[in-house]
Structure 1
Amino acid sequence: MTQVDTAATGEAGADRPDAAGSGTRRARIRAAIRVLSRPGPWKRGPLLAALALLLGLLMLVHARITDRWGLGSLVESLLPWFGAFVPVLLAGALWRRSASAVAALLLPVTVWLSLFGGLLTDKSHPGSDLTLVSHNVGAENPDPTATARDLAASGADVLALQEITSQARATYEKELAKTYPHHTVLGTVGLWSRLPLSDTRPVDIQQDVGPLGDAKPDDVKLAYNRALRTTVATDQGPLAVYVAHLGSVRVMPRNGFWTDSRDRNAKALAEALAAERNERVVLLGDLNGTVDDRAFTGITSQLDSVQDVAGDGFGFSWPAEFPVARIDQILVRGVEPTSSWLLPATGSDHRPVAAGISWPRR
């Protein structure tokens, strides 16, 4: 009995290594099948690759995007921020080890750099003949006195203000009088200057007609005037200066990104600039849009943005707490921008923008 049990036990024990070896071989085969069936690096992350290509194409053909519901203007206003999606997609591609997604990212990177790469370098150079500052001082500004004093200390030779309320006008005139002996205010916009001003007049960008097609009275026009034109007398000759505050943009349930008022203002301002006879022109103002927006093609085809020509970075000016867009602009024609920068925040929801310009060297 003992011998039989021993034999049985030995026979069973002899089977165990074979069973273990078979299990190991099967596990190895299954592992090999999994490895061989796993998609290669060029087949991984197809969704990430598609999103990267879509991002690049969106930036590449942004001018062809419909402007229905203001979609085109919205995309172009936020266009620089589309580059923020690149590192997000890159992180996903590396996590998935997707060679195709990494390769697809070359398109948005190339397009973004072609559009905005020039803004990443400092193009300013020292020396200027005139310093310009433009600031939407804000109708809700809680301390216009402090704002006026900060602007007076900015070193500007020519200072343009927008959104001047009737209550705050006297404050700005009083606080800026010592630094700027010459000034003009028409409606809600004004210009202060160290140099003499002449030939000041309002610029009609409002389509000044009533709901029945009747012309608005002159006193009503002036009270709501949002643009002016004046001449600054310089040692190098007259400089035509425009100050403008274009209509607001809003997100509306039925109309989407509503820009109708601003776009009409921009068209009228472009026509006024086209009729300007002076070869040296400066436009200072809150345009409620970036120069990438198609709504300003009529203006940017005539004037150059100082930020594009002589700035350092994007120069985002709004909102003041965390600027995401440069909607406050200084544009020029017939003069040479030497530098462009932002001033510290004031009590306004906009940051002041500044630029140095020089006369063309003959």
Structure 2
Amino acid sequence: MATVYLSAKLNEALLDGLVIPAHPLALDENRKLDERRQRALTRYYVASGAGGIAVGVHSTQFEIRDPEHNLYETVLRMAAEEVDAAAPDRPFIKVAGVCGPAEQALRETATALGLGYDAVLLSMGGLGQLTEEALLERTRQVAQMMPVIGFYLQPSVGGRIFSYAFWRAFADIPNVVAIKMAPFNRYQTLDVARAVCHSARRDEIALYTGNDDNIVADLLTAYRFDIDGKTVEKQVVGGLLGHWAVWTQKAVALLEEIKAARREPAISMEWLTRNVQVTDCNAAFFDPAHQFVGCIPGIHEVLRRQGLLQGTWCLNPHERLSPGQAEEIDRVYAQYPELNDDAFVASHLEEWLRAR
């Protein structure tokens, strides 16, 4: 099988920086797939101006792969159909979440490829038994099929710590096109950025934030190193975020504003305040107060309030809003009304929920 690469247009857009929401899963009260609302979510992300979607990732619920649900291919297909039907007049990247041991990862990559996806977000969670070299070899095998976005997942939700040497070798793998840095840790984020800067492939790899506790500051950060007597700089250009699965239209506007700010000779101190405002909202949605137990229901609750979802149900019945989480969402809605896109959603909701 010949290796698939990103088109020049998609590659340019990815390197410039995109808003890529992590796509949720719409369920009904019986915890069965709600196809109408699943499709409506994809229509919302396209209409919001997002530069792509990531499907089959944590926000889509890893349980979609379980035999009793068997929804992985179904939700990937629905999202691809909606993007293709919308035919956005801008580059729009379709990213498929891929996880598990090499055999599973390759099988899921083949599914994504067959459905017309552009890249895979390769999770290394749940593979603590594998050495770093084994994970690098797994990445090489997937990258021989299609473009790979690496993923540094925080340990508190199933990730693990990787060495600088791991990321240095990872960056050298052909067809790695981006890395989502989401360790929620500045030291470990720095390891990835430094490793990419030291790679001969540095200009081919986009740095994306997944650090929900530091979104705005990450997007304003350029990493700069002296390498062999030459100054090398890499900017965090965009985000692939569960946080951006809600209030997406405003996230798109935020990234465009940040891109303009990057071109200015100096950054306003106001951006530090904006950073903590977004982080405050994320704390309500993602529930770090309870070790992120309510992170998926928190996203669902915002979408429910907007009418995009009927409820906060998850495939795992134990995943639900934490005590006080709904009140925290009330609080950030009241505190930062400029950050929500409720009016935009309300003006299009009927259209998105309509069957084609």
Same fold (TM over 0.5): no
TM-score by length of 2: 0.33
TM-score by length of 1: 0.32
Higher strand share: 1
